[in-house]
Each structure stands twice: as C-alpha cells, then as structure tokens.
Amino acid sequence: MSTSSSSSISSDDEPNSNPNPIDDELSLASVTLNESNGNGSVNVNENENENNRQDGGEITWGRKNSEVEVEAPSSPSSSGYAGERGSSETTNSRIEDDEIQQVNNDDGFVDEVNHSRASSWVPGKRHVDEDDASISWRKRKKHFFILSNSGKPIYSRYGDEHKLAGFSATLQAIISFVENEGDHVKLVRAGNHQVVFLVKGPIYLVCISCTEEPYESLKGQLELIYGQMILILTKSLNRCFEKNPKFDMTPLLGGTDVVFSSLIHSFSWNPATFLHAYTCLPLAYATRQAAGAILQDVAESGVLFALLMCKNKVISLVGAQKASLHPDDMLLLSNFVMSSESFRTSECFSPICLPRYNPMAFLYAYVHYFDDDTYLMLLTTSSDAFYHLKDCRIRIEMVLLKSNVLSEVQRSLLEGGMRVEDLPLDPLPRSSISHRMSQQRLLTDSPERFRESSVGIGGPAGLWNFIYRSIYMDQYVSSEFSSPINSHQQQKRLYRAYQKLYSSMHEKGIGPHRTQFRRDENYVLLCWVTPDFELYAAFDPLADKALAIKTCNRVCQWVKDVENEIFLQGASPFSCATDKTEFAVLMLESYL
Amino acid sequence: MGCAASVPDKSSGRSGGLNNLENGGPPDAKNLRVKLVLLGDSGVGKSCIVLRFVRGQFDPTSKVTVGASFLSQTIALQDSTTVKFEIWDTAGQERYAALAPLYYRGAAVAVIVYDITSPESFTKAQYWVKELQKHGSPDIVMALVGNKADLQDSREVPAQDGIDYAEKNGMFFIETSAKTADNINQLFQEIAKRLPRPSVPDS
Ligand SMILES: Nc1nc2c(ncn2[C@@H]2O[C@H](COP(=O)(O)OP(=O)(O)OP(=O)(O)O)[C@@H](O)[C@H]2O)c(=O)[nH]1
Ligand SMILES: [Mg+2]
C-alpha cells in the first residue's frame, strides 16, 4: 500500500506531469459499479482487501518519505458554477482550491492579490445541482459525507443530499461489508484518492480526498464535523435511529449547510482545527484582565461559561467552578455562531450542545454581537435564564465600554498579531516587549497589500511563519502571514504542511518526537515538541539550518516575552491543568 | 419533531419559560408591556416582518433564525397609550419545534405566519394554532398572517381560506408584505387594540 501511495506521490512531484484531470476522477469506479447489488455484498476494491490483510483490519497507510505536496491551485475562473441553494448572494466569489481539481502549470508562487478571507469565500453550499453522475462533482478534490447506517444521506459538501442516495448506499454497503467481517473500515486508498471512514453509532462519516492530507488529519476533520452535528442536535439523535432505522435526518439539519461548509472551509485556514487549541486576540494585559473580571463576575451568578470573542479569537473566557471548556467545543461553537447570520441581527437565545462537555444534553446560549466582529456568548443550563443573561450582557457591555475594551479589540484587529519581520534581533532587554506589540503596529495600519510589497522577504534567517502551541494553556499563537505566503492558496498549503508535521509528531507508537527538520522545494520546516510547548516554523527552502535553529530559539523567547499579551493567563479552560509550568527556553540546538 | 429527547418538557405546568414580569413593575393601563411570539414554518418571513416593524428594514437575503431572536418595539396608540412589544421571533426549522413552548409560554400575543405562496406553510400555521389552543395562555390574542402578499402571481393560498380559518378560530387575520411594508404596522396596531386592558388598580 505504501508503495502505491508513494508512486502516486512521486508522479505528483513534477507539477506538470498530470495534465489530464480525468485521471484524477473519483476512482471508486470498482465500487460504484457494484452499487446495483444493493444487498451489501459489495466487492470492495483491491486496495482495500490488500490493506485488510496487511493491517489486521486497521486500514492505514504508511508514512511517506517525501513530504512534498504539490497541489495544483485552481484559477479564479473555475468559479463559474451554479450558485448556492436558495440564495442570490453568490456574487463573484473566489473558489477554494480544493473545490475542484484542476491542474495548472504554475505552482502557486505567482504573486496574487491577497484576498481577505471574507472576500474570498462565500458561505453556503455550492453546486447543489451536481450529483454523483456529474463530471464536476467527481472531480472535486475533497468530499465530505454524512450518512446513516441504513445508507440514507444526511449531508454532502457538494451536491444535493437527496440526489446522492445511490452513492450513499454504496458507501454504506462498503462499511457494513467490512463491519460484517469484524473489521472497521478506516481508510481505503483508491488511486490518488483516500477514502476515510468514521463510524459513530448509527452515523457514518466519510471523506474522499485527493489532497494528500494524512489519514489522522482527515479523521480529525470528520470528528469535528460529527461534533458540529452533535452541537446542533445532541447525541440523543441516536434514539431516532433506534426507533426507526430508516429515519431521515435531513429535515433536522435544515438551514445548517452554512455551518458545515464554514467548518470545512476552516480546515484550510484555521490551525485550531488540527492543533486542538484556541488562540487569543493580542491585547494589553490590563485590557484582557478588565474583560476577564466582568466575565468572572457574571459567571458567579449562575452562568456556566462566559466567552467574549472576536471572530475566531478569544478575548477572554471564564468557566464557573470546575466546568471546563474543550478547545474543540470552542471552535465548533464559534463556527456555529459566526456562520449563522441571524445572530448578528439581534440578541438570540438558542439551545446548543457542547459535544466534549456533555454530548447528551442541550445548554442554552445567549449570543449578542457588540459590533461586527466582537460577540459575547453566555452559556447556561437553565432554559429560562434569558432575561438574567440579557441583564448580565448589559452589565458586561457597560464595563467593556468604560474600560475601552471594545475599541482596543478593534485596534488589535487592525494591527494584527506577531509578525516574523518584528522578531527581536537579540533576546536581551525585556523592555522590548511593549515596543514590539504596540508602537511598531501603529506604523503599519495600512492595508495588507502595501505592507507586503514593502517587506517582501519575511523575517530573519528566512523565517516565513510560525505557530507556537502552549500545552498547558491549550492555546496557540501563530504569526501573521507575510510575504511570500500571501495568497490563500499558499497559506493553505503551509497549513497542510504544518498539519502533516503535526500528525507525524503525534503518531501513535512512534515515541515522542522531539524535533524534526525537513527541507523540500517549498519550505524548510522545523518542528520542536517539548512537554510544555510545540513550535512549528516555516522558512525559506534555502534557509541555513543552524540559523533556522537559532531563530526558533528566538521565537520561543519572543513568545515568552509577550505571553501576557498573546495568551489568556491563569484561566485555563481545562481547569485541572491550572498549575502553570514555568517554561524555560531550552536550547534547541541540543536536540537537533 | 423526531428528536425532542433533551429539550425542556412542555408538559410541565410550572410557570417557567421566558417571562420578564419580575422587573416589569406594576401593571400600568397607559403603558402596556406585552410578550409577543411569532410562530410559523421556516422561510415564511417571520424575521423579515419583525425587522420591518422594529427597524423599518427589509433584507432579502435569507438568515435562518437559530433558536429565537429577541427584539422589542414600542408603539403609541391614538388614545395615547403606549404598547411595548417584547418580541420572540422563533426559528421555524423543525429541530426547534419542541422548544416553542419555552417562547410562547406566558405570551399575551401569538402571531402565526404563513407564506401565501406555500400551502404547506398554511398547514403548518394551523398546526401552531391548535398547539396554542391546547398549551398557550387561555386569554392569548392570536393573529393569523399571510405574508409575501406582494407575490400575487404565485399565490397558492386564497385570502378567503385565511379569512375563514381565522374566523373559525377567533383570530385576527391580515395579509402582509415585509418586502413592501404593506400592512406591517397595521398588524401590530390591530394587535395592540385587541389587547385586554388591565383594570386600573387602586393605588
Ligand atoms: N417577496 C417577499 N419575500 C419575503 C417577504 N418576507 C420574507 N421574504 C423572503 O423570505 C425569506 C425568508 O424570510 P425570513 O424572515 O428569514 O423567514 P423566517 O420565517 O424568519 O424563517 P426561519 O427563521 O427559518 O423560521 C427571505 O429570503 C426573504 O427575502 C415578503 O413579504 N415578500
Ligand atoms: Mg427567522
């Protein structure tokens, strides 16, 4: 199996080697042909049988030697597909490059205008007119499906679920065939495609992808999609299937396409989706404290969790007593709120379930937007707490206005976070901290484009980007994207590379990898894992190794110097891990 | 709906629900405060009606309501009384149906909306009327609203059907258009007129 995968990889190494997209069509052909059997006796394709034998039922595929991932970016012209369902707002949007497989001859390093996320992606499902017979549907690079164990479609990223009944039945047949054999299907490789299965009681989740993301990453994405569904419906939906195995769940998910499509979109830009950590909006320590104090105040009056967020970033959060909030729940909750437009219109009170907190029960969420980006979520177990929570919000709003938190939030949003170009040269004086987070920012308020053209080469020693994840705090910080990682495609490719690195560092049975240094034609990637933190850094592919290592040490020092501004201190959402370990900046050289 | 398992039980007779009477002060015959709930199928235009009434806006892009939204608006009547509507704009999506009692419990007014181009939504409206007759406050004021009246060409529910059904059930009936603002203010004015006035307490 690893042979077949590495051979397909090596052909990908030449960016121009595959001018014929038809070759990359969903090659489930051998499976699809058997659809008519209908009774579950599907001949699973050869790959899978092979895998079955080799791995004793746990179908996985070997790690590849080459970390090269060549993903052909699509051109904006590929967006000429039909608009989303029931809405007329699909104006000229750019399409995500995993939407359709298209082989271009450039390798993504062309200078592109830096589209902001908001303008480059329009929420909602597209291509509803497609079904499994459409060529365009078959060429999509990454499909996600949810179906029931009786083969009823529940969700599909592309195309109308109802038109995909035949295809769903096929997937269901594969799963039950292997389950009857006493195995659990996890992964099938079919040509360039990986088919990843996740079985959750009566719910099957499937990803079909030719993006070369590691199995663990795709599985993690399916877990999040399942979690998103639980957030909307709770796990008590299982009972519907106990009563009626043929239960049709699609009406229960009515109007939630945007929630799922926005989650799937975030797999390509939000590192929280694979780091299982959250990130904070950079703020002066005192500002965050002021927000935290008032949240703490209301939390003591019967609010289970109080979260103040700006887009996907935390301003402050507080949990009552020992209640702990898992970073994945935060991700799913903020995705749900941000993707459901109605929350922006006026204050809302809605049942939601936090899958990691308690997958069986609804909590009630009071949601209020203070401005376009900043919103408050107060969670409670009490279904009639609305007026109390509304009063809490009014108190919070008064304090936030009085202490200028909301204007500081807007300022931080404009200024952005850590930038590789600002990496302090020598980690000497502690006085450089405030210098770095505030003064310099004011000079760079100009829109992204200007800054990029004026900087050009990233940070010292060819440092392009980094992500630092603090283990005990469940938080991460990533540097702002800067040149040459400008386009959404380049950003996505970098995140995919990090993701690969992350899963290779966390693979079971490999032992604690401490460091990895990889060089390919796109980057030098450096990863450093300690019990306290993980650092992922990307450098120019020509970067000097010794210098890169030195630079990573400096990044760690820098993060430590500004930790009061970039992390939420002392309020670990995992209440058990509150003892904050003082982390020493270890000398990375000694590991490599 | 099929998955009502973990939503609050609607059978419980306790006063519960979303009522804000505690800090409402004593009843005042000149300044009324009423809880109003909107019910109806998803997409019939409940949110658009509310936003037209409260903010004078119409946004044609669909923003499916999650749970329920809360808005308020005060109107003045000719006899110089004011009525403050505290409006629960509920989600019409099926998964929230079991949650409705939370919002209509204690409501003085229920506005049940359908879309004149959709017979299914008219059927759904009748379901809500029955549900409220069974579980709503006994003296609840109910209005039946046929929305999207601007779409005359695709009308599928004759106005007479609405009139007849409303009459049979002692409801007030009106056809509105959130898009053109037609009859939106009239809807709330008429509701206000029909509210039972609290008898002025001796104080
Ligand atoms: N032509 C026309 N369209 C309308 C009118 N009112 C609403 N709409 C459209 O109907 C769609 C749904 O309206 P909403 O107000 O969101 O429907 P809703 O009843 O709140 O739906 P849920 O929140 O899901 O329960 C929107 O896209 C509106 O553009 C109207 O009076 N005329
Ligand atoms: Mg609505």
Give the mutation target among B44, B63, B113 for probing the ligand 1 site: most ligand atoms within 8 A of CB: B44
Beta bridge partners of A309: A314, A375
CA of A234 from ligand 2 middle (Å) equals 22
Once rounded to an integer, what is the mean pLDDT over residues A292-300?
A: 93
Question: Can you give the pLDDT at residue A440?
Answer: 44
Structure confidence at residue A509 (pLDDT): 61
Q: Which residue of A has its CA nearest to B7?
A: A362
How is A375-415 classified by DSSP, letter by letter? Answer: EEEEEES-TT-HHHHHHHHHHHHHHHHHTTHHHHHHHHHHH
Q: Taking CB atoms and a 6 Å cutoff, what residues make up the pocket around ligand 1?
A: A 255; B 40, 42-48, 60, 62-65, 91-93, 147-148, 150-151, 177-179
Tell me the whole-structure pTM to 2 decimals.
0.79
Q: What is the pLDDT of residues A454-483, one digit of tens each?
A: 344 678 889 999 999 999 899 999 999 888
Distance CA A441, CA A432 (A): 13
pLDDT for residue A23:
32
- The mean per-residue pLDDT over the stretch A367-385 comes to 96
In the sheet that B109-115 helps form, which strands lie side by side, from edge to edge?
Answer: A313-319, A305-310, A374-380, A363-369, A348-352, B68-76, B82-90, B31-40, B109-115, B141-147, B172-175
Residue A341: Cβ-neighbour burial (10 angstroms; 0-12, 13-18, 19+): middle
Closest-CA residue of B relative to A339 is B63
- Asked if A345 has any chain B CB less than 8 Å from its own CB, the reply is yes
Residues B71, A126: Cα–Cα separation, whole Å: 32
Distance from CA of B56 to the nearest CA of A (A): 13
Mutation pick from A236, A344, A386 vs chain B, by most beta carbons of B within 10 Å, is A386
Position A374 confidence tier, pLDDT thresholds 50, 70, 90? very high
Residue A171 tokens read as 């997937």
Q: Is residue A575's pLDDT more than 60?
A: no
In this prediction, residues A566-591 reach a mean pLDDT of: 51
C-alpha pair distances (Å), A42 with each of A29, A52, A169, A197, A363:
12, 15, 11, 16, 42
CA-to-CA distance for A330 and A342, rounded, in angstroms? Answer: 19
DSSP A15: T
Give the pLDDT of residue A226: 97
Distance CA A193, CA A429 (A): 52
**Within a 13 Å sphere around the CA of A293, how many CA atoms are in the beta-carbon half?**
11
pLDDT at A145: 87
Mean pLDDT for the stretch of residues A353-374: 96
Q: pLDDT band at residue A124, thresholds of 50, 70 and 90?
A: low
Report CA(B200)–ligand 1 centroid distance (Å). 40
Dihedral sign computed on CA atoms, order A12, A18, A21, A22: negative
Residues on chain A touching B51 (C-beta within 8 angstroms): 345
Percent of chain B exceeding pLDDT 70 equals: 85
| Contact criterion met (CB < 8 Å) for A349 and B64 | no
Q: Evaluate if residue A34 carries a pLDDT over 50.
A: no
Tens digits of residue pLDDT in A323-352: 689 999 999 999 999 999 999 999 999 999
B99 touches chain A (CB under 8 A): yes
∠A6-A7-A12 over CA atoms, to 5°? 90
* Mean pLDDT across A554-561: 94
- pLDDT of A73 higher than 80: no
Q: A347–B93: do the CB atoms touch at under 8 Å?
A: no
Domain boundaries, chain B: 31-194
Whether residue A252 and residue B51 make contact (CB cut-off 8 A), yes or no, is no
Q: What is the spatial distance between Cα A327 and Cα A347, in angstroms, rounded to a whole number?
A: 24
| Torsion (CA) A399, A404, A407, A412 in degrees, nearest 10 | -110
- Interchain CB contact of B73 with A (< 8 Å): no
Residues 6 or more apart whose CB falls under 8 angstroms from that of A354 comprise A231, A325, A326, A329, A332, A333, A363, A379
Q: How far is CA A403 from CA A287, A307, A505, A565, in A?
A: 7, 17, 43, 17
pLDDT of residue A507: 77
Tell me, what amino acid is at A489?
Q
A10 against A521, higher pLDDT: A521
Check: CB of residue A463 under 8 Å from CB of residue A539.
yes
Cβ neighbors of A298 (< 8 A, separation 6 or more) are A306, A378, A392, A395, A396
Q: Which atom of ligand 1 is nearest to the CA of B51?
A: 15
pLDDT digits (tens, 9 = 90+) for B17-41: 676 654 445 567 788 999 999 999 9
DSSP at A581:
P
Q: What's the whole-number mean pLDDT along residues B138-162?
A: 97
Can you give the pLDDT at residue B149? 98
Task: Compute the average pLDDT of residues A360-385.
Answer: 96
Instruction: For residue A36, name the pLDDT band (cuts at 50, 70, 90).
Output: very low
Q: Is residue A49 pLDDT above 60, yes or no?
A: no
Task: Dig out the tokens for A457 from the structure.
Answer: 């080469």
The whole-angstrom separation of Cα A343 and Cα A332 is 15
For residue B41, how far is its CA from the centre of ligand 2 (angstroms)?
Answer: 9
The rounded distance, in Å, linking the Cα atoms of B188 and A58 is 63
Name the nearest CA neighbour of A99 among A118, A113, A69, A79. Answer: A79
Strand ranges across the sheet with A142-148: A153-156, A142-148, A203-209, A193-200, A187-190
Interface of A with B in 360-379 (CB under 8 A): 360-362, 365
Q: Which chain B residues in 12-51 lie under 8 Å from chain A, judged by CB atoms?
A: 16-20, 22-23, 42, 47, 51
CA A323 – CA A305 distance, rounded (Å)? 8
Q: Which of B47, B69, B116 to mutate to test the pocket of ligand 1 (most atoms within 8 A of CB)?
A: B47
Answer yes or no: are the C-beta atoms of B100 and B131 closer than 8 Å.
yes
Residue with CA closest to ligand 1 atom 22? B42
Q: Which residues of B touch A359 (CB under 8 A)?
A: none
Nearest residue in A to B98, CA atom:
A351
Average pLDDT along chain B: 88
Highest average pLDDT, of A74-88, A478-492, A514-528, B153-167, comes from B153-167
Query: For residue A98, which phi and psi values (nearest 5 degrees)?
Result: -95, 10
Quickly state the pLDDT bin for A103 (edges 50, 70, 90): very low
> What is the per-residue DSSP string for A464-479?
EEEEEEETTTTEEEEP
State the amino acid at position A315 in one-letter form: I
Centre of ligand 1 to C-alpha B5, Å, is: 29
Which protein residue's CA is at the shortest distance from atom 7 of ligand 1? B45
Which residue owns the Cα nearest ligand 1 atom 23? B65
The answer to whether the beta carbons of residues A66 and A11 sit under 8 Å apart is: no
Question: Average of pLDDT values for A219-233?
Answer: 96
Tell me the two tokens of residue A104.
């271009």
Q: Are strands B141-147 and B109-115 parallel, antiparallel or unpaired?
A: parallel
Q: How far is the CA of B48 from the centre of ligand 1 (A)?
A: 6
pLDDT at A584 over 50: no
| Structure-derived torsion over alpha carbons of residues A400, A402, A407, A409, reported in degrees to the nearest 10 | -30
Highest mean pLDDT out of A51-65, A152-166, A175-189: A152-166
Maximum average pLDDT range among A13-17, A529-533, B133-137: B133-137
Determine the residue among B66, B72, B87, B118 to mutate to test chain A binding: the one whose Cβ has the most chain A Cβ atoms within 10 Å. Answer: B66
Tell which A residues from 2 to 21 touch B, by Cβ distance under 8 Å: none
Please tell me the least confidently modeled range out of A337-341, A381-385, A570-574, B118-122: A570-574
pLDDT of residue A320: 79
Q: Is A426 touching B (CB cutoff 8 A)?
A: no
List pLDDT tens digits, range B78-113. Answer: 888 999 999 999 999 999 999 899 999 999 999 999
**pLDDT value for B12:** 39
Confidence of residue B201 (pLDDT cuts 50, 70, 90): low
Q: Which residue has the tokens 């034609």?
A: A521
> Residue A503: what pLDDT?
87
Name the closest ligand to CA B128. Answer: 1
Model pLDDT for residues A252-262, shown as the tens digit of each residue? 999 999 999 99
Q: Which residue has its alpha carbon closest to ligand 1 atom 29? A: B60
How many pairs of residues across A and B have Cβ atoms under 8 Å apart?
99
Element (H, E) at A8: helix A2-13
Pick left, alpha or beta for residue A417 (phi over 0 → left; psi -120 to 50 → alpha; otherwise beta): beta
Confidence at residue A185, expressed as pLDDT on a 0 to 100 scale: 64
Q: Do A342 and B66 touch (CB under 8 A)?
A: yes
Cβ atoms A212, A69 nearer than 8 A: yes
Q: Token pair of A356, please? A: 């990691």
> Ligand 2 (ion): which residues have CB within 5 A?
B 46-47, 65
Per residue, what are the HEC states of A224-280?
HHHHHHHHHHCCCHHHHHHHCCCCCCHHHHCCCHHHHHHHHHHCCCCCHHHHCCECE
Residue A88: pLDDT over 50: no
- State the pLDDT confidence band at A127, using cuts at 50, 70 and 90: low
Nearest CB partner across the interface for B66, out of A87, A243, A350: A350
Residue percentage of chain A with pLDDT more than 90: 42
Name the helix (H) or strand (E) containing A317.
strand A313-319
Banded model confidence at residue A134, pLDDT cuts 50, 70, 90: low
Mean residue pLDDT of chain A comes to 73
* Rounded distance from Cα B64 to ligand 1 centre (Å): 9
From CA A483, how far away is CA A540, in angstroms rounded?
11
Is A289 buried (19+), middle (13-18) or exposed (0-12) by CB count in 10 A?
A: middle
Interface test with B, best of A387, A393, A394 (most B CBs within 10 A): A387
- Across the interface, of B3, B23, B51, the residue whose CB is closest to A252 is B3
Which pLDDT does position A208 carry in this prediction? 87
- Among the residues of B105-183, which ranges form H helices? 119-135, 159-168
Average pLDDT rounded to a whole number, residues B155-171: 98
Q: Is the pLDDT assigned to residue A220 strictly greater than 60?
A: yes
Taking residues B172-197, what's their average pLDDT? 96
Give, in words, the CATH class of B31-194: alpha beta
List residues bridging with B172 in a β-sheet: B143
Tell me whether A233 touches chain B (CB under 8 Å): yes
Mean pLDDT confidence for A419-424:
91
How does pLDDT run across A498-552, given as a tens digit for each residue? 999 998 888 766 656 588 899 999 999 999 998 889 999 999 999 999 999 999 9
Across the range A16-35, mean pLDDT stands at: 33
